[in-house]
Amino acid sequence: MDEGLEETEDGMEEYSRPLPRSEKKFMVLGHCMDHMKNKNEELVKKAMEEALPGMESLCLCAMCTEDIFALALNSIPAGYQHSMSIALFKKTAFEEIRKAVLEAAGKVKEKPKHA
């Protein structure tokens, strides 16, 4: 049995911990889609790492950080691509991504989910 995989009372298997992305198999019509990547995820991560540590009284717990990440990503166009194709999406300017991160941080700061 895989590490982290446990058998439930009804004989089914489920993961007792979230799997790292590298261990997951996201399948569509029998084809693995794990190699699909939203290129903007890395840019949002970079913008967050640059902008957020200096924001006064912003909680950076896991929940708030995930909320900021999700809000920022949801406010910009997705940029999905797989490793063997040409990029068919319009690249988002880093300043637009940074603005989305700051707006998301403002929303989370104003109404954190854990408070």
Find out whether 70 and 95 touch, Cβ atoms under 8 Å: no
| 106 falls within a domain | yes
- pTM for this model (two decimals): 0.70
Count of structural domains, the chain: 1
Residue pLDDT, tens place only, 43-69: 999 999 999 998 989 999 999 999 999
Q: Residue 30 has what pLDDT?
A: 85
Instruction: Using 70 as the pLDDT threshold, list the residues of the chain that sit under it.
Output: 1-24, 83-90, 115
| 76 falls within a domain | yes
Q: Which residue has the tokens 């990029």?
A: 87
Domain that holds residue 23: 5-110
| 86 falls within a domain | yes
| 95 falls within a domain | yes
Q: Residue 22 has what pLDDT?
A: 56
- For 86, the 3-state DSSP assignment is coil
| 115 falls within a domain | no
d(CA 96, CA 40): 11
